[in-house]
Structure 1
Amino acid sequence: MRAIHCLTLLLALVAPAAFAEGPYQVEMLLLRQNEVPAVTSPFAPEDWSAGAPRLEKVAERPLALADEATRLEATPGYTVLLHKAWQQQVGDGPSRIALGAGSEQFGHFPIEGNLSITEGRFIAIEANFWVNQLDGNGSVLQSEQFKQSNSTVKAGQLTFLDGGHLAMLIKVAPAGMRKVPVMDPEMMEQ
């Protein structure tokens, strides 16, 4: 009997990770915190995508955090630099995607970077982005780098990653994630 109890407990711990692999809805906002002085970094590397596939148009989804972006833009403390939503496959191994915003010039974008998402007990996120100043010829004149990670993100929860003068709001949830039903108070009294 004790073996069955231990086996049940073990399956309960392992099962969520086994069923977690699949399509995830991802939405992120890259922000500039205007009250924090900007820090320049080394130029964005030529392989800024780190070998990750670029986000395809067919994977993009409608923005769900538009109200949050509007509120941030209305305050003098923040500037929204990039706001994108998409769907990607996520599992227990890193799933990377490369994002670029603005006009591409000789392989660089004004805003470019990559995002890695891994599903485990929690969702692990690694973000590495550059905000570039490009000259008329497409050469990078100056870069600001945002590099942060968090391995305790809960599915469906809006998470803030602080990188000093640059920051990120990100939400990662299984596609089609249903909200937890609210119990009827009368049922809870029984």
Structure 2
Amino acid sequence: MRLVHLCTALLLALTAAGTQAASYAGTTFEIEMIVFSRTDGMSGSRENWPASPRLSYPAKWIDFTTTGGEGEPQLVPAATQLDNKAAALQRSGNYRVLFHKAWQQQLWQKRRAPAILIEGGDTYAGHSQLEGSIKLSVSRYLHLSTNLWMSEFGEPGSEGGILLPKPSSLDNGEPLDLAAPGAARTIASQGRPGPVYAARVAQLQQERRMRSGELHYLDHPRFGVLVQVRTLDKPEDGTPAAGN
């Protein structure tokens, strides 16, 4: 009988968790993310840099310039709250902030969640030092998937090395407007069109389960990510905000 009660309680708990996760789908959260590099670069250790990394963008994505219509995903700019963290990284002299943004976004289960393009740092021939995408989704918890890479470029005009991809529907236009500390500098490239290669590439591909309000750190020998997902304040109309 006790076993029956335990199984019933477990089933009720799992059902409640599934119902809570389903209620999160479509809820708007506020996200803030800082991506930073280590100033000693990647030349000190080659064992972490695969010779032929698989770099790719997802087929479906949005960025910080996407203006979606009704029912379409978009990222709404928000005020940053982790400025002290970004400033501390910059002051240390050991790190450089490549990307720092906050935005509001509706989160969905993973199959519906859009990938978000991330760029920052120096630029070279239409590419940025930091590139890739992230995906935020909800199930029983909040989930973050990262597909980011940081490149070291060769001399202007050089070829060979690791081919850098472009998002499928982007041309070689301007990079995203990222007003991050240690702002992006343009490396002379003579506007060379066509393929662009990196001498070395470090990848950060991780899955992280998160709770709202907690600050999470994703580590890598050459760059890292600080990310926080926050619930929004209770609206004036009395509609309850999402919980942790």
TM-score past 0.5 threshold: yes
Give the superposition deviation at 1:8.
5.4
Q: C-alpha distance in 2, partners of 1:86/1:156?
A: 14
Alignment of 1:20-169 (within 5 A): 20-21=24-25, 22-34=27-39, 37-38=42-43, 48=57, 50-56=59-65, 59-94=76-111, 95=113, 96-101=115-120, 108-132=127-151, 133=153, 135-138=189-192, 140-142=196-198, 144-169=201-226
Q: How far off its partner does 1:107 sit? A: 5.5
Q: Per-residue deviation at 1:148?
A: 2.7
**2-structure distance, mates of 1:128, 1:50:** 13
Measured in 2, the distance between the counterparts of 1:84 and 1:166 equals 17
**Alpha-carbon distance in structure 2 between the residues aligned to 1:15 and 1:55:** 31
- Counterpart of 1:136, as a letter, is Q
2:18 is the alignment partner of 1:14? yes
In the superposition, the TM-score normalised over structure 2's length comes to 0.59
Matched pairs, number: 175
Q: Which runs of 5+ in 1 are unaligned?
A: 181-190
Amino acid across the alignment from 2:64 = L
Q: Which range moves more in the overlay, 25-34 or 108-117?
A: 108-117
Question: Share of identical aligned residues, percent?
Answer: 22
SS at match of 1:13: helix
Normalised TM-score (structure 1): 0.73
Mapped to 2, the partners of 1:11 and 1:51 lie a distance apart of 31
Alpha carbons of structure 1 residues 49 and 137: separation in structure 2 relative to 1, 3 Å: farther
Deviation at 1:159? 0.4
Question: Which protein has the bigger strand share?
Answer: 1
Partners of 1:44 and 1:108 lie apart in 2 by 17
- How far off is 1:44 after superposition? 8.6
- Report the structure, 1 or 2, having the larger helix content: 1
8 Å Cα contact 1:127/1:146 also seen in 2: no
The Cα of 1:79 is off from its aligned counterpart by 1.5
CA contact (8 A) 1:29 1:169 kept: yes
Q: After TM superposition, what 4+ stretches of structure 1 lie above 6 angstroms from structure 2?
A: 102-106
Change (3 A) 1:36 1:9: same
Contact 1:34/1:78, CA 8 A, preserved across alignment: yes
Indicate yes or no: 2:176 matched with 1:172: no
The letter of the residue matching 1:53 is I
Deviations 1:2-32 (A, max 9, x none): 7xx7585454322210211211211111111
Q: Distance in 2 between matches of 1:153 and 1:161?
A: 12
Secondary structure, counterpart of 2:87 in structure 1: helix
